[in-house]
Structure 1
Amino acid sequence: MKRILFIALVLSSSFGYAQQTVKRSSDINGIVFEKFTVLKTDKKIRQGEYTATFHGNVIAHGNYTNGQRSGEWTFYAPRGKKPIQIFNYDQNKFTLLDSADMRGPSYIIETTNPADIISAPVKIGGSSGIFALTTSRTELRGLTRGELPGAIKLILKHTLVISQTGQIVDHIVEVTGDNHMTKTLHLNDATFDPEITRFIPAMVNSQPVMSKVVIVTQSVTTGVITKTY
């Protein structure tokens, strides 16, 4: 009898929780899509399960509690099914970190000495998180029609400047067209969810420091990324 009562209470609690939220979805940048739930009483506050997909593949899954990421979140490579990261937001630490996923970008930490113990900045969300910040940006669409007329292919060098607190303080893009014309832009990442732009900062001798993350991509006139270096 006690067991039946316990199950009934759990089901009742779950039903009540579902009644307090509504489903939502959003388009981060044209290729990364989010599905989540928000409170009925305040639709700006996320509450409950969250999933992000890249070309239909799940790249992030976790939960929100009162608008904050909570518990363990699992992140996947853009075209892989194996987890590359598991980050516990309650404990603010990784329980799984695949170092191989960090090999794509280049990392720059200035003014270091040979004896220093250095660790590179780590994007929470791995390579998928960096792709969300650098691919299909609306600010870069139309470059071939405007600032770089006549170009068919573009090489885009993204430099993310990461603060000691792990936030992006500048996003510089150096664009070179196959017509030999160039353009430098500063993108605004403030419109993203702060957790999408968050890094674990670079460390030198266990102290957080400023750093840069550099990723180079190749694009065509439609804005589709055709290659990542």
Structure 2
Amino acid sequence: MERKEKSFYGLTEKYSVLADSPEIRHGLYQALNKKIAVASGSYNRGKRAGLWHFYNAAGKLIQHYNYSTRTLTYEAPEDASSSMRYVLDNSFTANDTVVKPIKPGGVFFGYLPYLKHFVLPHDIYNGDADQFMAVVELLVSPGGRLADYKIRVGSQLYNYNKVADMSLDLLDEEDKQFVPATLNGQPVAISVFITCRINHRGQLEYR
């Protein structure tokens, strides 16, 4: 059985499900930004399997990831204008080699699950949302597991700063997994900060 539905960030998902269990995805999957593919691959009984391909919002290839072998086969250099910032807990020097964590799904599609659970604070009026910024804060452990998930909302104009501790239970298992950051080849903990704007619907968008 094939299905098509609108999802977060204005994407359209096209996928197949099991005939006897329509809630379980099985077979080909594609996510489209209008008519541009941003993710394609396949599911095996509800889990991503085999080689997946991920693109940015404009359709530029940014990642190949094999979910069956848990291996990254291609990762494009991150754009200098990216909304992402990475902060290593350990001290390091210019002579050290630091490798950022990799999110299966890439820097566009892969991080959307952390944006979609945002709820506009009740004391912010929708019409003023463009005066506020939000930062999604993720702590990734040396084992490549998501250890903490927060969303900070602030405004200099309104002298506003609030932090929401987000439950990891909101996320699917795949959204809790990363290829860990390394320092001189050794896995280390790292924080990922995603700067976002709040749109007129009270939802987060990459800046």
Q: TM-score range by the shorter chain?
A: 0.7 to 0.9
- Say if 2:63 and 2:106, in contact at 8 Å, map to a contact too: yes
* Aligned-pair CA distance for 1:45: 3.1
- Partner of 2:184 in structure 1? 205
Identify, as 1 or 2, the structure richer in helix.
Answer: 1
Query: 2: CA distance between counterparts of 1:48 and 1:120?
Result: 32
Query: 2: CA distance between counterparts of 1:37 and 1:102?
Result: 36
SS at match of 1:124: coil
Change (3 A) 1:129 1:170: farther
Q: 1:126 aligns with which of 87, 93, 106?
A: 106
Matches within 5 A, 1:148-159: 148-149=124-125, 151-152=128-129, 153-159=131-137
Q: 1:91 aligns with which of 64, 69, 74?
A: 69
* Aligned-pair CA distance for 1:197: 4.4
Matches within 5 A, 1:125-204: 125-135=105-115, 137=116, 139-141=118-120, 143=121, 146-149=122-125, 151-152=128-129, 153-177=131-155, 178-204=157-183
One-letter amino acid of the structure 1 residue matched with residue 67 of structure 2? Y
Q: 1:63 aligns with which of 42, 55, 72?
A: 42
Structure 1 residues 98-132: Cα deviation after superposition (integer angstroms, max 9, x where no partner):
01348621111112333543211011111213551
Q: Which moved more, 1:194-203 or 1:61-70?
A: 194-203
Query: 1: CA distance between counterparts of 2:182 and 2:153?
Result: 30
Structure 1 residues 153-199: Cα deviation after superposition (integer angstroms, max 9, x where no partner):
21111111112332322221211133222221122353333324432
One-letter amino acid of the structure 1 residue matched with residue 113 of structure 2? L
- Partner of 1:11 in structure 2? none
Q: Which runs of 5+ in 2 are unaligned?
A: none
* Aligned-pair CA distance for 1:76: 0.4
Q: Which runs of 5+ in 1 are unaligned?
A: 1-21
Report the TM-score, using the length of structure 1 for normalisation. Answer: 0.74
The structure whose RCO (Cα within 8 Å, separation 6+) is larger is: 2
Measured on the aligned residues, the alpha-carbon RMSD in Å equals 2.7
Query: 2: CA distance between counterparts of 1:196 and 1:57?
Result: 23
One-letter amino acid of the structure 2 residue matched with residue 199 of structure 1? F
SS at match of 1:128: helix
SS at match of 2:137: strand
| Residues 1:40 and 2:19 aligned together | yes
Give the number of aligned pairs. 202
- Say if 1:84 and 1:101, in contact at 8 Å, map to a contact too: no
Report the TM-score, using the length of structure 2 for normalisation. Answer: 0.81
One-letter amino acid of the structure 1 residue matched with residue 105 of structure 2? G
Q: 1:109 aligns with which of 78, 84, 88?
A: 88
- Say if 2:118 and 2:204, in contact at 8 Å, map to a contact too: no
Change (3 A) 1:96 1:226: closer
Query: 2: CA distance between counterparts of 1:167 and 1:94?
Result: 16
Query: 1: CA distance between counterparts of 2:24 and 2:16?
Result: 9
